[in-house]
Structure 1
């Protein structure tokens, strides 16, 4: 089966400034691709290139097996949902949703049939006679999605569609978009700077920085095996701890030495068969630093260390504690029962099975 979207060697320049550099990405029908990265990384520009709103400077772009590199946006069989909703203020919700169909010459009966189907899917039947100005942000967003759905396109494009909503509504709409994707089995490309949104929605994530793809993978791959320190730091909340360390072979494995303030270094033994340089950066997620006495998992690689706790932050089901190791602040996600106290030392255990190692100079993953 041909990929629904296939981008090869795509470049985008504005004059002499390269905005996108050698972008290669493809998705299968039914995939939910999320483009994520900090502001200015080129993700919205890439979405606009897919939509045909921006001409590309090099490379090819195919949708549904057909070359769309130089094809007009209206002939690409795509539907786009914008951050600003872009609804017509003087038209009713029903007319906003069916306007595109009317322009394309669909019969009144067909318009009505699609309208009823989509209104039911999005639970907006009772809003059809209202105008956009009488709707809440979440309702407007649903209408904008409804307008895209009646198209039944090959590809849906979403440009930060939830960034104008408050936090609670964003979570609700995220769940709705995920459910919609599962119901329709539609192919979607979605731009966000919110890595939680990316992790919860995507079947495939593209992490971008300065116009370059840093990593492509499933949410689990991106989270558990980040390709470099940028991805490790960007994906996850709180971010992965990145701790400078020294290594020394010890016969049975490799000693990992991490400096502590006013105390001898922590020494842990890495027994996996990996080769490491003398200087490394240890990457460990906050949830992989645990309290041995409250730990019920099955890891055979837990290694204890005495850590001075500097900050304790209760957060409902979790309590985050911060310690200084290797000259950097390290966060552990403990459970709410912890007795950790700021200003006192605490036994913490590091799950070395879950550790990522990075090269300090290039930032690239070593294991």
Structure 2
């Protein structure tokens, strides 16, 4: 089956400034691709290149097996949902949704049938006679999605559609978009700077930084096996702990020593057969550091750590210690008796550790 979207060696320059550098991305029909990265990384520019709103400076771009590199936006068989909703203020919701079909000369019966189907899918039937000014932010975003859905395009493009909504509504709309994707089996490219949104919605994530692809993978691959320090730090909340460490060889595996202020280093054994340089950055997610007795397994190593801070967070309690000159966060159960200033035995799951090169930040294992 041909990819629904195939981007090869794409470059985008503004004058002498390179905005996107050698982008290669391919997705299958039904994929939900999320472009994620910090502000200014080029994700919205890339979406605009896919939409045809920005010409590309090099490379090729195909949609549904057809070369769209120089094709105008209206002929690309795409539908776009913007952050700003972009609704016509003087038109009713119904007219906003069907306007594009009307312009394309779709007959009235088809318009009515499509409107009914989409309004039911998005649960906006009671809103059809209202104007955009009479709607909440979440309702406006539903209408904007409705206008895209009646197109039945090859590819849906979403540009930070939830960033104008409050936190609770964002979570609700995220669930709606996920349900919509599952119901329609639609092919979607979605831009966000919110990595939780990326993790929950995507079948495939592209992490961008400075116009360069850092990693492409499933949410699980990106989360569990980040390609470099940037991805490790960017994806996940709280972020992965990144701790400078020294590697020592011994007969049973790899020993990792982590310096501590005013105390001997913590020495942990990784039983995996790894070929590591002497100095590394050790990466471990907060949930892979537990309280002694709460984590079992061959790779688990325990060490006493001084608790600097305790942060209750409902279902979890975060405990912060200083290791290797960095603040290290452990995600413990809510009932922990940990208190600031005490020594607490923590269990480190060494089978989950990622190692990164100190100089380049690239993943080593």
TM class by shorter chain equals over 0.9
Deviation string, structure 1 residues 14-55 (Cα, Å, up to 9, x no partner): 000000000000000000000000000000000000000000
Give distance in 1, aligned partners of 2:337 and 2:317. 10
Cα drift, residue 291 of structure 1: 0.7
Give distance in 1, aligned partners of 2:288 and 2:248. 23
Give distance in 2, aligned partners of 1:300 and 1:123. 50
Matches within 5 A, 1:177-326: 177-295=177-295, 298-326=296-324
* Structure 2 residue matching 1:294: 3-state secondary structure: coil
Give distance in 2, aligned partners of 1:216 and 1:102. 39
**What count of residue pairs does the alignment treat as equivalent?**
365
Cα drift, residue 149 of structure 1: 0.1
* Structure 1 residue matching 2:196: 3-state secondary structure: helix
Partner residue of 2:89? Answer: 89
Cα drift, residue 294 of structure 1: 3.1
TM-score, normalised to structure 2, is: 0.99
Partner residue of 2:13? Answer: 13
After the TM superposition, which of the residue ranges 145-154 and 243-252 deviates more from structure 2?
Answer: 243-252
Partner residue of 2:138? Answer: 138
Give distance in 2, aligned partners of 1:262 and 1:182. 54
Partner residue of 1:336? Answer: 334
Give distance in 1, aligned partners of 2:316 and 2:227. 28
Unaligned 5+ runs, structure 2: none
Deviation string, structure 1 residues 334-366 (Cα, Å, up to 9, x no partner): 010111101111000100000000001000000
Deviation string, structure 1 residues 258-288 (Cα, Å, up to 9, x no partner): 0011110000111101100000000000000
**Stretches of 4+ moved more than 2 A in 1?**
none
CA RMSD, Structure 1 to Structure 2 (Å): 0.5
Partner residue of 2:113? Answer: 113
Give distance in 2, aligned partners of 1:253 and 1:126. 65
Partner residue of 1:122? Answer: 122
Partner residue of 1:354? Answer: 352
Deviation string, structure 1 residues 76-107 (Cα, Å, up to 9, x no partner): 00000000000000000000000000000000
Q: Tell me, yes or no, if the aligned pair for 2:254 and 2:273 is still in contact at 8 Å.
A: no
1:363 to 348, 361, 364: 361
Cα drift, residue 293 of structure 1: 2.4
Give distance in 1, aligned partners of 2:203 and 2:209. 20
Matches within 5 A, 1:142-181: 142-181=142-181
TM-score, normalised to structure 1, is: 0.99
* Structure 1 residue matching 2:298: 3-state secondary structure: coil
* Structure 2 residue matching 1:329: 3-state secondary structure: strand
Unaligned 5+ runs, structure 1: none
* Structure 2 residue matching 1:342: 3-state secondary structure: coil
Deviation string, structure 1 residues 188-244 (Cα, Å, up to 9, x no partner): 000000000000000000000000000000000000000000000000000000000
Cα drift, residue 185 of structure 1: 0.0
Give distance in 2, aligned partners of 1:92 and 1:248. 69
Give distance in 2, aligned partners of 1:293 and 1:253. 23
Give distance in 2, aligned partners of 1:272 and 1:294. 22
Partner residue of 1:72? Answer: 72
* Structure 2 residue matching 1:293: 3-state secondary structure: coil
